[in-house]
Chain A
């Protein structure tokens, strides 16, 4: 047993933390996160140059990491700065390519790792409510082409993606695990209507309407109807990344709140001297440490071959982070009092991100139910 990061990971963490704190000061970050682009293309390119995206992938596809703890280190650093850059899209689409891509499709990986292209997973749909098997979008084989029809929402940075990984039904009922196929589609394909907007926690997302989108036969990723197992693995990476990001954000929210308790005075004393507030703060501390352990468990499980063991650890982590992230956000605002309600305070943006992470790739309730279902299959 060993709870130390390797020297390489420590160096990666140090350089990323430095880069993030230098480049993502609150005002700059907010201007980007809530601006027209939702992020900074220049800084995204610099992340790639620093090897941040490469760290998410193993050597055989041009990266230099790719283990669970590489991914958790990167996203924890991003969380510390609530960095709105679209690295998650690169991780998810890149992983799908690794798992099921043809040799030609895998060539896209290089452009994701060097940051020259953006990618997004276009899987969620308006009525899915976190259920991975819900795919109403259809794909029909017509001659040498596939024709896609349906609505995808929400797609993170969907308007800017050079590549979209689209899930569509080639057979079966809307809720069926079988019959889902995946397609690697150029983002600017004819027939894609995009309704893009800023997110309340920063960054951009879009609802994409696919109206008779024609893609060539070789856009199919993997075999027809077998997309679900790939999606499940891909979502596993999303869960790990989001959980790690949340722990980074929690640490900062906790530090800011603690500092406020030490300095804010009421009734002639620092409010941190009041036991009612001390005990609430201790609860936050205890829960953040449990969240950190959940991420360690998830990172250790991501390459586990036993599906039930792996997915249970991932759902356990996302359940924990959903519950604890919301708690940390709400307690941090409460302990700050009125000032915690303001846009001006950096903390409020961390709180928003922590709450909204629970809305991505399955919330607390979804993953608790999934953990139970997985337990009963074992």
Chain B
């Protein structure tokens, strides 16, 4: 039992830090730290820098352009990136579709799509959720009917994150209406520029445009874009959901968020003293700091347990629940720390020049509201409890 990093692990951490110092511009880091939304070009630019170093698809095997890191190295990388306020890697191609293609795709599909994920030729988005299919994902209604060398797709996807930037979408579609809900689903790759696709923004409660609705009307998709076998899509969908979730606890984001909260609470004055010295606020901060210290070790224990191979299954549900609760609590405290100055609703950062109240107040409330999504997406925390109940507790 040894919680310290080995000299090799420390050397690796230093290498990651050096990379970040050289490649992450202070302007970009400041934007991420402030909780601002990044442009498409900023996200693509960051991907390009990681790709140039061979670190973009850090969990892919070397054969497909991954760096061959072990679980601890991946954790160190993700943690250092979060603490340095680097943009997060857009996961849809790299973390979601990539592993599915490697395991279930044809040789031709792998050879065509995987390099394009790495070099940024394609921006993927995820076509899972539908208006009638939130937590109950297997109730997919969007249909794909075979017509010669094509499928004809009709239906609607929703909550499509960053779909406004995407040229490709991977979709769960129903190819057999007679089958029970979980069979009869197929996994299809669809060109977003196809005729019959319409995308509409969904504006979230913080005023942001991150998610979208995607409508499919008689969209023709080549049969070559079917991944794996027809009607076996649910297997691939589940694989995607459980694969590679070492970072689901978001410990790095919480560490970075807590550091920011502490700075803010030292700066904001309350009764002539820093807010950090208010007994009740200090107690709330201390509680979440201790939960996070415990969570760091819990996360590392899970990583160590899966380091021998195999994707974490229900353990990732445990990390997701507590990890997102901690992140949400930190964001909640950051909002509270702003007092009345959390209220101004600024459409543009330049509206906050000079700052209204503390410099962190501009995004405190909107970041808090935006991140209520954490306990809802990726399987709501209640769904995660159902999974744990079944898979770990055997109830």
Interface on A for B, CB 8 Å cutoff?
Answer: 1-6, 9, 69, 258, 261-262, 270, 272-273, 275, 278-279, 281-283, 285-286, 289-294, 296-297, 299-300, 313, 316, 319-320, 368-369, 371-372, 375-376
| Given contact pairs A286-B322, A371-B286, A297 touches B297 in the complex (Cβ within 8 A) | yes
- Candidates A9, A282, A292, A313; contact of B388 at CB < 8 Å: A282
Is B83 engaged at the interface, CB distance under 8 Å to the other chain? no
Quick one: given A293-B295, A294-B294, are A273 and B395 in contact (CB under 8 Å)?
yes
Judge whether A320 and B290 touch: CB under 8 Å. yes
Inter-chain contact A69/B385, CB cutoff 8 Å = no
Binds A, one of B1-9, B105-113, B120-128, B141-149: B1-9
Chain A CB within 8 A of B116 CB: no
Partner of B389, one of A279, A313, A371: A279
Question: In the complex, are the beta carbons of A278 and B393 less than 8 A apart?
Answer: yes
Inter-subunit contact A281/B393 (CB<8 Å): yes
Closest to A73 in B: B1
Partner of A376, one of B277, B287, B298, B301: B277
CA A299 to CA B4, docked complex, whole Å: 13
**Per-residue contact bits, chain B 281-302, to A (CB 8 Å; 1 contact, 0 not):** 0110011011101111110110
Question: Is A289 a contact of B9 with CB atoms below 8 Å?
Answer: no
Please pick, from B1, B5, B9, B287, the residue contacting A296 in the complex, using a CB distance under 8 A.
B1
For the complex of A and B, the 3 pairs showing the least CB-CB separation, nearest first, are: A293-B297, A272-B395, A278-B389
B50 at the interface (CB under 8 A from A): no
Q: How far is the CB of B280 from chain A (nearest CB, A)?
A: 11
Q: State in angstroms the CA–CA spacing of A294 and B295 once bound together.
A: 9
Query: With A and B bound together, what is the CA distance between A376 and B274 in angstroms?
Result: 12
Contact of A2 among B287, B304, B393, B395 (CB under 8 A): B304
Given contacts A2-B1, A282-B385, contact A316 B290 (CB under 8 A): yes
Chain A residue contacts of B318, Cβ below 8 A: 285-286, 289
Establish whether residues B386 and A286, one from each chain, have CB atoms under 8 Å apart when the complex forms.
Answer: no
| Chain B residues with CB below 8 A from A320, complex form | 290-291, 294
- Contact mask for chain B residues 251-270; partner A; CB cutoff 8 A; 1 contact, 0 none: 00000000000000000000
Distance of A369 Cα from B276 Cα, bound (Å): 13
B residues near A369, Cβ cutoff 8 Å: 283
Q: How many residues of chain B get a CB closer than 8 Å to chain A's CBs? A: 39
- Is there an interface contact between B1 and A293, defined as CB atoms closer than 8 Å? no
Other than A286-B322, A296-B301, A372-B286, give 12 A-B pairs with Cβ distance below 8 A.
A1-B72, A258-B394, A273-B395, A281-B393, A282-B385, A289-B298, A297-B297, A320-B291, A368-B283, A368-B286, A372-B282, A375-B286
Instruction: Verify if B321 is at the interface (C-beta below 8 Å from A).
Output: yes
- Chain A residue with Cβ nearest B72: A1
Within 8 A of A (CB), among B283-336: 283, 286-287, 289-291, 293-298, 300-301, 304-305, 318, 321-322
Query: CA A54 – CA B287 in complex, angstroms?
Result: 36
**Does B382 touch A at the CB level, under 8 Å?**
yes
- B241 on interface, CB distance cutoff 8 Å: no
A3 touching B301 in the complex, CB below 8 Å, given contacts A299-B1, A320-B290: yes
Task: Please determine whether B298 and A290 come into contact, CB atoms closer than 8 angstroms.
Answer: yes
Interfacial chain A residues near B298, Cβ < 8 Å: 289-290, 292-293
Of the candidates A5, A258, A297, which one forms a contact with B393 in the assembled complex, judged by CB atoms under 8 Å apart? A258
* Nearest A-chain residue to B290, judged by Cβ: A316
Chain B residues whose CB sits within 8 angstroms of the CB of A261 once the complex forms: 393, 395
Partner of A297, one of B287, B289, B293: B293
Q: How far is the CB of A243 from chain B (nearest CB, A)?
A: 11
Q: Is the CB of A281 within 8 A of B3?
A: no
Check B297–A296 contact: CB distance below 8 A.
Answer: yes
- How far does the Cβ of A41 sit from chain B's closest Cβ, in whole Å? 33
Q: Tell me which residues across on chain B come within 8 A of A372, comparing CB atoms.
A: 282-283, 286
A297 to B318, CA, bound (A): 19
- Chain A proximity of B282: nearest CB distance (Å): 5
**Mask for B360-395, Cβ within 8 A of A = 1, else 0?**
000000000000000000000010011011001111
> What distance in Å separates the Cβ of B273 from its nearest Cβ neighbour in chain A?
11
Chain B residues with Cβ below 8 Å from A289 are 298, 301, 318
Enumerate chain A residues within 8 angstroms of B389, measured Cβ to Cβ.
275, 278-279, 281-282
Measured CA separation A209–B287 after assembly (Å): 38
Interface hub of A4, A9, A290, A294 (most chain B Cβ within 10 A): A290
The CA-CA distance from A71 to B382 in the complex, in Å, is 37
Contacts of A300 on B, CB cut-off 8 Å?
1-3
Select B9's contact among A1, A272, A273, A299, beta carbons within 8 Å. Answer: A1
The answer to whether A1 touches B3 (Cβ under 8 A) is: yes
Tell me which residues across on chain A come within 8 A of B386, comparing CB atoms: 275, 278
Write the nearest CB–CB distance from B11 to chain A, whole angstroms: 14
Interchain CB contact (< 8 A) of A371 among B290, B301, B305: B290
A-chain residues with CB within 8 Å of residue B6 when the two chains form the complex? 1
Q: What B residues does A286 contact at CB under 8 A?
A: 318, 321-322, 388
Q: Which of A272, A286, A297 has the most CB of B within 10 A?
A: A286
A260 and B104 alpha carbons, distance in the complex (Å): 42
For window 1-38 of chain B, which residues contact chain A by CB distance below 8 Å?
1-6, 9
Give which listed residue, B283, B291, B295, B388, contacts A285 with CB less than 8 A: B388
**A319 CB contacts on chain B under 8 angstroms:** 290
A262-B395 in contact given A2-B304, A282-B389, A368-B287 (Cβ < 8 Å): yes
Expressed in whole angstroms, the Cα–Cα distance for A2 and B389 within the complex equals 28
CB-CB < 8 A to B293: which residues of A? 294, 297, 313, 316
B1 CB to closest chain A CB (Å) equals: 5
Q: How far is the CA of A260 from the CA of B254 in the complex (A)?
A: 36
B71 (CB) vs chain A CBs: closest residue: A1
Q: A79 to B136, alpha carbons, bound, how many Å?
A: 42
A258-B301 Cα distance, complex, nearest whole Å: 23
